[in-house]
């Protein structure tokens, strides 16, 4: 049903763009100052919903990595020498400034990433602030975290983050690193550098000593130079499994500590006694949250064959109500795909689904004329052999498979090189426990999906990576 | 509008056997999918964040006014109070004749005649509570007599309460048969069945009660009496909306929904309309299929309407106090 025929058609409700002031150009943030790249190179950051150029950003190269790591090294001695309570104060201050500027940051993130304002406002930004608050609280209690009586920071952390949750991934990386007394050089993704640069401004606003946080916008070459730098003690990466493997090879034998948070192909298992209406919401949230560009997305729906038709009918009915469009509109559920490159990848894999004989169903919605868009899509008749069931699509595409018994559900869910997330939907508590126990995934959600909390550790099995972020466990990666 | 099968006939053939015995009815109701409270409340809250502006708001405010069952259910009700309320129901905003009339005036049975006289020719319905409202604690014949008295006094619609004691004790067939009996006594009137969701307490119970009421021939299923601690909430109304949606998909019979009690602001009312819009859909966006049981809600809707029309917020002295 199209919008014009609806009785109750929601009028446009755009969040104001004027709450954020994006400069025409940005530098790198090194040693407390914004500077040009040594070789003067720049790149453009584009709004994926409109293809409008938002700003021109300095592009870090090897010389800039050198400068930033040196600055972080210089800052390390005094930063790590501060009492934990003092470091905590800075983190609390950063958390509060993030809350105060959350509307501005939400609009910025929506513009630069393409995700709906509803998500940046209600999910990303509250979680970002919560992460800083949480690790601020640990800063003076590290001796009680279970890693020895007097754990020490590692030194300089080189951190490379993806474009799907730019500011949230930054928080996951920077908050525990600083709480533990490390200094950081962070490279945001080339398609979403802006919120990290606003964060640099927040560091200055909070009076954070220079060199403790350095931000190097740039491409893969800058990330490679950063992780390979001999004076980096710790590498943390979130992104694709292919790049994660390269990084693992690059740091092998160097003595650097490494955590990797990589891809996933999460199974969302719906049993015949599931609470159907809530399961449908969980399936929708599991794969269409952030346009499916989520490493822990529930991209494989495993539904018990006896209720498959009922669940699919309900799911399609629900998908028809999703509102795709202007990400700044407060009623938008589905925003833009982050880049032309990602859209091409999603399109290619979806086409492979057709070619391999799965049945495609697309939610009835109109795609805007400019920008990068992909309508919510599901494939039925998918088997374990299909590429859409095996490869991470990282887009709003759900593969639907069926199973007959709990044992078959577990076997199919585990039959993937990944192991990041899974969901179990059943009203039977004993089944939740039994199935969760046998799923090889870093996080298993029961009767919910994509729930995040800074107190809860997050991370993968197998090709989804290693190390945990969040919670007490997240401290371990930054302490010795 | 295509003719929609009415609920009055009782369970459709496809579901006739589920009410054949207490055991069959229990198996059926307990076989309905469970409701996960965390997920349900999260969904209701998420829909509450929809931003309804300008033209959409104007539409929603007028629709909400037209869906009100303007209610007075107090021991202190008098003919004078009911007449004043009926005048308000016909012409909610004397300064703006474009404001729609409300759907109905809802009173106790002994005042239904006054309401019927005051509303004659207006198109506004007379709704009367019955069946020993609000507790429902009376002998079945008393409840039927109460219903007949309301109808004799001119009620177009009957708002009955179920026997929550029997429901919570698991005597589903007894509840079913009591609703059937009232349904038959009220032939020709629209029957609203009140579950008192605050007393049923769990969302699983609310879903079971919804199906029980629909099987027994309810024209509307209604959350609450307004007389207990927890009345209409977005979450319990969402359970009702899912039930009517699923019931029509299963049987072809459309049933209305009426949240009642505790909905006092235009902002809340609009949130309920968003629930209707995104759960049951267009077919329920009409006062034949959705009502608000409310009293103070109307004035807030009228103030918001004035604000939208004039750009100014005049305050409570510019709407009538009844």
Residues in chain A within 8 Å Cβ distance of B57: 11
The answer to whether residue B3 scores a pLDDT higher than 90 is: no
- Which residues of chain B lie closer than 8 angstroms to A118, CB-CB? 49
C-alpha dihedral, A88 to A93 to A97 to A102, nearest 10°: 30
Q: Output the pLDDT for position A2.
A: 43
DSSP lists the bridge partners of residue B222 as B194, B258
Residues of chain B whose beta carbon is less than 8 angstroms from a beta carbon of chain A are 33-36, 38-40, 42-43, 49-57, 59-60, 63, 242, 273-274, 277-278, 282, 285
Q: Are A447 and B42 an interchain contact pair (Cβ–Cβ within 8 Å)?
A: no
**Distance (Å, whole) CA A469 – CA A172:** 7
- Give the bridge partners for A26, in sequence order: A57
Distance CA A125, CA A358 (A): 38
Q: pLDDT confidence of B313, banded at 50, 70, 90?
A: confident
* Token pair belonging to A397: 């595409």
Q: Specify the pLDDT at position B194.
A: 98
Quote the mean pLDDT of chain B.
95
pTM above threshold 0.90: yes
Residue A62 C-alpha from the chain's centroid: 26
Cβ within 8 Å, pair A118-B285: no
Q: Is A7 close to B285, i.e. CB distance below 8 A?
A: yes
Q: What is the pLDDT of residue A5?
A: 65
In whole angstroms, give the CA distance from residue B46 to residue B279. 13
Of B36, B51, B285, the CB nearest to A278: B36
How far is it, in rounded angstroms, from Cα B157 to Cα B183?
11
Which residue among B50, B52, B242 places its CB closest to the CB of A277? B242
Q: Do A275 and B51 touch (CB under 8 A)?
A: no
Cα(A29)–Cα(A20) distance, integer angstroms: 19
Distance CA B80, CA A173 (A): 69
Each of the 480 residues of chain A gets a pLDDT tens digit; together they read 344 568 999 999 999 999 999 999 999 999 999 999 999 999 999 999 999 999 999 999 999 999 999 999 999 999 999 999 999 999 999 999 999 999 999 999 999 999 999 999 999 999 999 999 999 999 999 999 999 999 999 999 999 999 999 999 999 999 999 999 999 999 999 999 999 999 999 999 999 999 999 999 999 999 999 999 999 999 999 999 999 999 999 999 999 999 999 999 999 999 999 999 999 999 999 999 999 999 999 999 999 999 999 999 999 999 999 999 999 999 999 999 999 999 999 999 999 999 999 999 999 999 999 999 999 999 999 999 999 999 999 999 999 999 999 999 999 999 999 999 999 999 999 999 999 999 999 999 999 999 999 999 999 999 999 999 999 999 999 999
User: What was the pLDDT predicted at B6?
Assistant: 60
pLDDT at B170 over 90: yes
Q: Which residues of B touch A331 (CB under 8 A)?
A: 50-51
* DSSP sequence for B254-321: --EEE-BSS--SHHHHHHHHHHHHHHT-GGG-STTTB-EEESTHHHHHHHHHHHHHHS----GGGS--
- Cβ contacts (< 8 Å) between A322 and chain B: which residues? none
pLDDT of residue A241: 96
pLDDT of the residue at B125:
98
Predicted confidence (pLDDT) per residue in B175-193, tens digit: 999 999 999 999 999 999 9
Rounded Cα gap, residues B98 and B102, in angstroms: 12
Q: Name the interface residues of A facing B (CB cutoff 8 Å).
A: 1, 6-13, 118, 122, 273-278, 281-282, 321, 330-331, 427, 447-448
Candidates A5, A6, A11, partner chain B, best to mutate (most B CBs within 10 A): A11
Residue B159 falls in the annotated catalytic set: yes
Which pLDDT does position B8 carry in this prediction? 64
Task: Show the domains of chain A with their CATH numbers.
Answer: 17-262+463-478 (3.40.605.10), 267-453 (3.40.309.10)
pLDDT above 70: residue B97: yes
Determine the residue among A277, A283, A316, A425 to mutate to test chain B binding: the one whose Cβ has the most chain B Cβ atoms within 10 Å. A277
On chain B, the residues whose CB falls within 8 A of the CB of A427 are 34, 36
Q: Which residue of A has its CA nearest to B243?
A: A277
Query: What's the pLDDT at B5?
Result: 54
In A, minimum Cα distance to B52 occurs at A10
Q: Are B59 and A447 an interchain contact pair (Cβ–Cβ within 8 Å)?
A: no
Q: Are A171 and A143 in contact (CB under 8 A)?
A: no
Q: Do A13 and B53 touch (CB under 8 A)?
A: yes
**Which positions in chain A touch B55 (Cβ < 8 Å)?**
9, 11
Domains of chain B: 51-311 (3.20.20.70)
- C-beta atoms of A8 and B57 within 8 A: no
Assess whether pLDDT exceeds 50 at residue B2: no
In the sheet where B68-71 sits, what is the strand order?
Answer: B256-258, B220-222, B190-194, B157-161, B125-130, B104-107, B68-71, B292-294
Residue among B39, B52, B56 minimizing CB distance to A281: B39
**Is B222 a catalytic site residue?**
yes
Encoded tokens for B5: 């099968």
Residue B318 pLDDT level (bands cut at 50, 70, 90): confident
Mutation site for A-interface testing, chosen from B1, B39, B245, B287 by largest number of A Cβ within 10 Å: B39
B256-303 residue pLDDT tens: 999 999 999 999 999 999 999 999 999 999 999 999 999 999 999 999
d(CA A12, CA B50): 11
Residues of A in contact with B273 (CB under 8 A): 8
């Amino acid at each position: 049903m199209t919008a014009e025929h609806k009785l109750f058609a929601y009028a446009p409700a755009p969040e104001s763009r004027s709450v954020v002031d994006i400069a025409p150009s940005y530098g790198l943030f090194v040693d407390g100052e914004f500077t040009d790249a040594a070789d003067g190179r720049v790149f453009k950051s584009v709004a994926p919903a409109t293809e409008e150029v938002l700003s021109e950003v300095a592009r870090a190269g090897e010389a800039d990595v050198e400068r930033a790591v040196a600055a972080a090294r210089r800052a390390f001695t005094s930063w790590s020498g501060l009492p934990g309570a003092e470091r905590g104060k800075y983190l609390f201050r950063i958390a509060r400034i993030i809350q105060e500027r959350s509307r501005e940051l939400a609009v910025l993130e929506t513009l630069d990433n393409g995700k709906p304002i509803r998500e940046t406002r209600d999910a990303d930004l509250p979680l970002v602030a919560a992460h800083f608050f949480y690790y601020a609280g640990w800063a003076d209690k590290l001796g009680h975290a279970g890693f020895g009586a007097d754990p020490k920071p590692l030194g300089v952390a080189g951190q490379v983050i993806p474009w799907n949750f730019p500011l949230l991934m930054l928080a996951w990386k920077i908050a525990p690193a600083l709480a533990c007394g490390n200094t950081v050089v962070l490279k945001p993704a080339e398609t979403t550098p802006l919120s990290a640069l606003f964060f640099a401004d927040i560091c200055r606003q909070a009076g954070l000593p220079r060199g403790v946080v350095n931000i190097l916008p740039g491409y893969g070459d800058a990330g490679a130079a950063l992780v390979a730098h001999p004076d980096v003690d710790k590498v943390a990466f979130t992104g694709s499994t292919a790049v994660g493997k390269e990084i693992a090879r690059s740091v092998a034998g160097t003595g650097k500590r490494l955590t990797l948070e990589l891809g996933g192909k999460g199974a969302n298992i719906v049993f015949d006694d599931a609470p159907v209406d809530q399961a449908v919401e969980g399936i929708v949230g599991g794969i269409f949250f952030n346009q499916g560009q989520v490493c822990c997305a529930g991209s494989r729906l495993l539904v018990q064959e006896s209720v498959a038709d009922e669940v699919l009918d309900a799911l399609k009915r629900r998908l028809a109500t999703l509102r795709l469009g202007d990400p700044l509109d407060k009623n938008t559920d589905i925003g833009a795909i982050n880049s032309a490159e990602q859209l091409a990848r999603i399109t290619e894999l979806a086409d492979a689904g057709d070619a391999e004989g799965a049945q495609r169903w697309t939610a009835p919605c109109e795609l805007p004329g400019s920008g990068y868009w992909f309508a919510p899509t599901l494939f039925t008749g998918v088997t374990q052999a299909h590429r859409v069931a095996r490869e991470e699509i990282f887009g709003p595409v759900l593969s639907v498979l069926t199973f007959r018994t709990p044992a078959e559900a577990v076997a199919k869910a585990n039959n993937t090189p990944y192991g990041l997330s899974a969901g179990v939907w059943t009203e039977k508590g004993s089944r939740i426990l039994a199935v969760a126990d046998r799923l090889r995934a870093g996080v298993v959600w029961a009767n919910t999906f994509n729930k995040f909390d800074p107190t809860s550790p997050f991370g993968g099995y197998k090709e989804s990576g290693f190390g945990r972020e969040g919670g007490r466990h997240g401290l371990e990666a930054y302490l010795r | 509008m295509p003719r929609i099968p009415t609920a009055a006939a009782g369970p459709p053939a496809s579901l006739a056997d589920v009410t054949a015995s207490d055991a069959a009815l229990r198996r059926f109701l307990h076989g309905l999918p469970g409701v996960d409270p965390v997920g349900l409340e999260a969904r209701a809250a998420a829909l509450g964040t929809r931003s309804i502006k300008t033209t959409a708001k104007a539409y929603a405010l007028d629709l909400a006014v037209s869906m009100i069952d303007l209610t007075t259910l107090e021991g202190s009700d008098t003919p004078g109070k009911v007449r004043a309320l009926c005048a308000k129901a016909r012409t909610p905003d004397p300064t703006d004749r474009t404001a729609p009339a409300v759907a109905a005036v809802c009173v106790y049975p002994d005042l239904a005649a006054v309401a019927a006289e005051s509303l004659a020719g207006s198109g506004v319905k007379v709704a009367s509570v019955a069946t020993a409202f609000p507790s429902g604690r009376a002998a079945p014949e008393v409840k039927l007599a109460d219903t007949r008295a309301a109808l004799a006094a001119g009620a177009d619609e009957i708002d009955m309460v179920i026997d929550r004691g029997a429901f919570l004790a698991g005597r589903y067939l007894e509840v079913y048969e009591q609703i059937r009996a009232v349904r038959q006594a009220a032939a020709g009137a629209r029957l609203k069945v009140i579950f008192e969701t605050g007393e049923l307490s769990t969302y699983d119970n609310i879903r079971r009660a919804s199906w029980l009421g629909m099987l027994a021939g309810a024209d509307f299923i209604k959350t609450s009496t307004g007389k207990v601690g927890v009345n209409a909430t977005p979450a319990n109304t969402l359970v009702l909306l899912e039930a009517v949606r699923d019931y029509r998909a299963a049987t072809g019979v459309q049933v209305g929904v009426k949240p009642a009690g505790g909905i006092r602001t235009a902002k809340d009312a609009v949130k309920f309309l968003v629930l209707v819009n995104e759960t049951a859909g267009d077919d329920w966006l009409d006062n034949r299929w959705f009502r608000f049981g409310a009293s103070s809600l109307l004035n807030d809707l009228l103030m918001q309407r004035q604000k939208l029309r004039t750009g100014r917020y005049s305050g409570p002295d510019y709407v009538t106090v009844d």
